[in-house]
Amino acid sequence: MLIFTIIAYALLFWRAEMPGSWGLFPPGGAASVWGIVGVYLIGHAVGGWWTTRRVQRILWHDPDAIGRALHVQHRWTFLLRCGSILGFAGITLATKWPQWFLSGVLPPYLQVIGDLIVLVPFFAGTLILWLAAFPAERALRDIHDPLHDHDAASSAGAWRLGTYLDFHIRHHLLVAAVPMTIILFIADLLRGYEGYLRESTGWLWTPDALLTAATAVVFVAAPWMLCRIWRTSPLPAGPLRDRLEAMGRRIHLRFRDILVWNSNGLMINAAVMGIFAPVRYVLLSDALLSTMTPAQIEAVFGHEAGHVRHRHIQHFLLFALVGWLFVTGVMELLARSLAEEGAADEWSMFTVQAAGFASAALIWGLGFGWVSRRFERQADLFGARCVTPEPQSCGRPCSVHPGDQTSLPPEGRVCATAAATFNSALQRVAILNGIPIEERSWRHSSIGSRIRFLALLSGDPNLAGGFDRQVIRIKAALVATAVLGTTAALYYWSAVPQPALLRLHAGIP
């Protein structure tokens, strides 16, 4: 859901730069626009109802077919979300709906209100899908309730509609919408006063530089905001907290706090947020804490620590920089080509923006997912290594503890017992969250493939070492590309003080 919300906001940024006369549908007045918006929302209701009915029919005919029902629920929910964002793109880019509320209608400091109204169909469609899915998800949870044996009262209360919607709105919508709305507000201000800013500084880049700086501030402060959007509280003092803090000291992981992620039992998950230790939080959900053993919790904690210790967030930022440089380069080349042909008008700006959007979709859709899946497996390896037992406690054939070896495991190897502990945690995450074990996602390999991969590496230290070297090469390529791309961009900007893209954006001939 996170990526779909970000795309919805990105469409709003793009629409603000498009020609005001653009529209695929004839300007038939307000009735036609409202009709399109109405069909969009009705489509959500019909699609969500059909999916829920299909899941319920599977369970009615065979209550033991929960695996098939889960597969149908996940697959069609994903397809409905794809249809939702495509439909919203059509409303935003091809109708007059945004023109009623976008730039020029409201002053810059109030424009964010108009932006949020433009987003209402997307928000409403998302809410409709959740309302439609609730009966199916409740039926699936009634058959297999992860908290049934732990806290029946909590489990029963967790599946009230109000609690269910509160959870999804907080964890799947506001998590992206709040920081993106802040960035949108700042962008509206800068867009409204960009002429003054450029004239007063004598630099075409001033609005873009200020937006970049503001986005960086929001990104750094986001963990602090999210801990308040979500329902969190410090992990109580006790043996588990002592154990996790001891692990943090052992692996040199610094953080502000370990928080309980209160979801009323709706989620078995963990997360780490924040680049810098003063605003870095480790979150463990309430259901995870109540359904896993201390060793499994320690393994999950180690996985999240792996993202920090291997600097995955920093390398994701490098990927974003490389992607931005590539997309900007494509747009600049196209803008120069159009300027040389004397075609620098408002439609040229749309053409350039469309090329940039398509390039960004290609890079993020293919490249980011590929890199992310390898980083997840590196975090899996780190989590397994964090729970490596003493030699006398390892009861499996193991390349780390052969024979009477008593030294600590050499770097690069994975203990078979530790891998089994971590894999048991992965299996519980899949089962308790109702995730089909072979289901893949954009950013994650399937849990089944991750389990097999870790088991394979634990039996062959050469494979483990080879995977570590592969990830090192990926990171080195990101660093090298970012350095070379930034150097080339700085050289180009110094040689061409007014690039064709900015001139086109500013309306300078």
The pLDDT tens digits for 29-67 are: 678 888 999 999 999 999 999 999 998 888 888 767 777
pLDDT of residue 80: 94
pLDDT digits (tens, 9 = 90+) for 133-143: 998 888 877 66
Work out the number of other CB atoms within 10 angstroms of the CB of residue 130.
Answer: 22
Mean per-residue pLDDT of the chain: 82
Picking from 192, 219, 250, the residue at the C-terminal end of a domain is 192
| Position 70 in a domain | yes
pLDDT in tens, 313-353: 899 999 999 998 998 888 888 888 877 666 555 556 677 77
Which of 55-69, 202-216, 416-430, 469-483 is predicted with the least confidence, judged by mean pLDDT? 55-69
287 assigned to some structural domain? no
Domain endpoint, select from 131, 157, 192:
192
Higher-pLDDT residue of 156 and 247 is 247
> Is residue 175 domain-shared with residue 301, that is, in the same domain?
no
Q: How confident is the model at residue 234 (pLDDT cuts 50, 70, 90)?
A: very high
Residues 261 and 304: beta-carbon distance below 8 Å: no
Buried b (16+ CB within 10 A) or exposed e, 370-406: ebbbbbbbbbbbbbbbbbbbebeebeeebbbbeeeee
Q: Is residue 258 part of a domain?
A: no
Round to whole Å and give the CA distance between 417 and 455.
10
- Our count of domains for the chain comes to 2
Given this model, what pLDDT does residue 456 score? Answer: 87
d(CA 3, CA 225): 19
Domain shared by 458 and 339, yes or no: yes
Choose the final residue of a domain: 192, 220, 251.
192
In this structure, the answer to whether residues 165 and 307 fall within a common structural domain is no
- Note whether residue 148 is domain-resident: yes
Q: What six digits make up the tokens of 437?
A: 């074990």
With respect to residue 229, please indicate whether it lies within any of the assigned structural domains. Answer: no
> Using an 8 Å Cβ cutoff, are 115 and 13 in contact?
no
Residue 375's pLDDT is 93
Residue 69 covered by a domain: yes
* pLDDT digit string, tens, across residues 402-414: 654 434 445 567 8
Query: Which residues are registered as beta bridge partners of 260?
Result: 233, 284
Q: Which domain holds residue 20?
A: 1-192
| HEC per residue, 159-227 | CCHHHHHHHHHHHHHHHHHHHHHHHHHHHHHHHHCHHHHHHHHCCCCHHHHHHHHHHHHHHHHHHHHHH
Mean pLDDT lowest among 47-56, 94-103, 403-412, 484-493: 403-412
- 474, part of any domain: yes
For 343, phi then psi, to 5°, come to -110, 30
Please indicate, yes or no, if residue 209 is contained in any of the structural domains: no
Q: Are residues 310 and 430 in the same domain?
A: yes
